Amino acid sequence: MLIRNVEVEGHGRVDVRIAAGRIAEIADGLPGRADLDGRGGALIPGLHDHHVHLMALAALAASVRVGPADVGGRAGFAKALRSGNPGEWVRAVGYHESIAGELDRWVLDELVPDRPVRVQHRTGALWVWNSAALRAAGLTGDGRFWREDERLRSFAPPVRLDLEGVGRRAAALGVTGFTNADPRPADGLVGMLSALPQRLVVMNRDGPVKMMLDDATLPAPEELAARMAAARPRTVAVHCATRVQLLVTLLALDQAGPVKGDRIEHGSVIPLETVPWLRRLGVTVVTQPHFPVERGREYRTDVDPDDRPHLYRCRSLAAAGVPVAAGTDAPFGTPDPWSVMRAAVEREGKETVGRRAALDLFTGEPEHPGVPRRVRVGAVADLCLLHVPLQEALATLTGDTVRAAFVGGHRIQPG
């Protein structure tokens, strides 16, 4: 493929030839017939979403959204759960306690007693089922299931998955790759995800080993270090959503010894005094700078005041030499990486980053997210062509500037 008249950083307006899935030449006036006229738009590395839950995202098409922005309190929540055909299962997602308080089977029964209902908390960690759903599945208890997705799969009816739509919408935003971050991927997941046109890294399959931590079941540092050692030579990606989870992880990495490519997922709370420790270990933090924007109102009441200054660091990590990248965490956050970039630039406080740094959060190497890719000869041709020059795109940070996306030189989104 020969793309003419594109802006490439460090080269100006040039032509770019792609062969065997890689960038073969970058120069002005390359011979041959052009396959595409770039019209002066920037050619940049394709965006890679470094932390996403693809099957849950694909299930959104068959789900009822009940987040704080979707329903107006308890009455709106009840109305949303009663939507659809009578008697059919309802799969609701995005719930937060600010809507109707803590949920269990009996609270849901008061709202919807006559049809099976299951509600997922916005963290993705908790499902709550009403009595009708429990009876239909032959289950008992209070209806609250903490991190039991794997077990629950066999009890609920299958959900229609819109993987084609996920891939299409992501391509339109210039996304050429995903890292699926499920801690316990279902059997056959890799085969199902092959329907996506994007390049894939699947944790616990061909990517890093995902390690989930919860405060209630937190292992001792020695135990976590033993799990890390058993995973070597593979890298690890450790879920750290609280201060204590991060500290245990850093102690374990010290004992096990870090490997280039080890990752902290989320880094929701990173006390300032731990930043030099992160740098010394060389781990990459894959964070969600949009969460303080999307969830700011709830964080003001849910998060300990001592933790609020340390939420989802970006600028301070990068300034200290800690590799940083971003993932949308969709569907638990927006699936639009450009929206994440804007949040990283516009969020309140001292953790804002520059516009180019925001773009680089999504242009890292799939296996090494903190190492930004560049359009250069020899690089894999996972590319995003914009309608406009780079500086104009950085001024707006919106997916509207995306014209086409390419994976290995093959167009996945028409230009």
For residue 53, the model assigns a pLDDT of 96
> What is the distance between the alpha carbons of residues 281 and 259, in angstroms, rounded to a whole number?
9
- Span 260-268, mean pLDDT? 97
Q: Averaged over 9-26, what is the pLDDT?
A: 97
Phi-psi group of 143: left, alpha or beta (phi > 0 → left; psi -120 to 50 → alpha; rest → beta):
left
Side chain identity, residue 160: R
**Cβ proximity of 327 and 181 under 8 Å:** yes
pLDDT for residue 285: 98
Mean pLDDT of 87-116: 93
Q: Confidence band (pLDDT; 50, 70, 90) for 52?
A: very high
pLDDT in tens, 4-14: 999 999 999 99
pLDDT at 193: 93
Say whether the peptide bond before residue 271 is cis (omega within 30 degrees of 0): no
Q: What is the pLDDT of residue 181?
A: 96
Higher-confidence position of 196 and 69 = 196
Mean pLDDT across the chain: 95
Residue 85 reports pLDDT greater than 90: no
Q: What is the pLDDT of residue 86?
A: 76
- Specify the range with the lowest mean pLDDT, choosing from 29-43, 82-96, 285-299: 82-96
Quick check: 153 pLDDT over 90? no
Q: What is the pLDDT of residue 309?
A: 92
Sign of CA dihedral 181, 367, 234, 229: negative
Average the pLDDT over 362-376 and give the result: 96
Distance between CA atoms of residues 185 and 115, nearest Å: 29
Tell me whether residue 22 is exposed, middle or buried, using C-beta atoms within 10 angstroms of its C-beta: 0 to 12, 13 to 18, 19 or more. Answer: middle
Instruction: Please determine, for residue 308, whether its predicted confidence score (pLDDT) is greater than 80.
Output: yes
Task: Identify which of 272, 359, 364 has the alpha carbon closest to the alpha carbon of residue 323.
Answer: 364
Strand order in the sheet with 2-8: 22-27, 12-19, 2-8, 36-37
Higher pLDDT, 175 or 123: 175
DSSP single-letter state for residue 101: S
pLDDT digit string, tens, across residues 285-305 = 999 999 999 988 888 888 999
Predicted confidence (pLDDT) at residue 246 exceeds the cutoff of 70: yes
> Is a pLDDT exceeding 70 seen at residue 272?
yes
- Confidence category of residue 414, pLDDT binned at 50, 70, 90: low
pLDDT at 262 over 80: yes
**Mean pLDDT, rounded, for 366-372:** 95
- Residue 154 pLDDT: 86
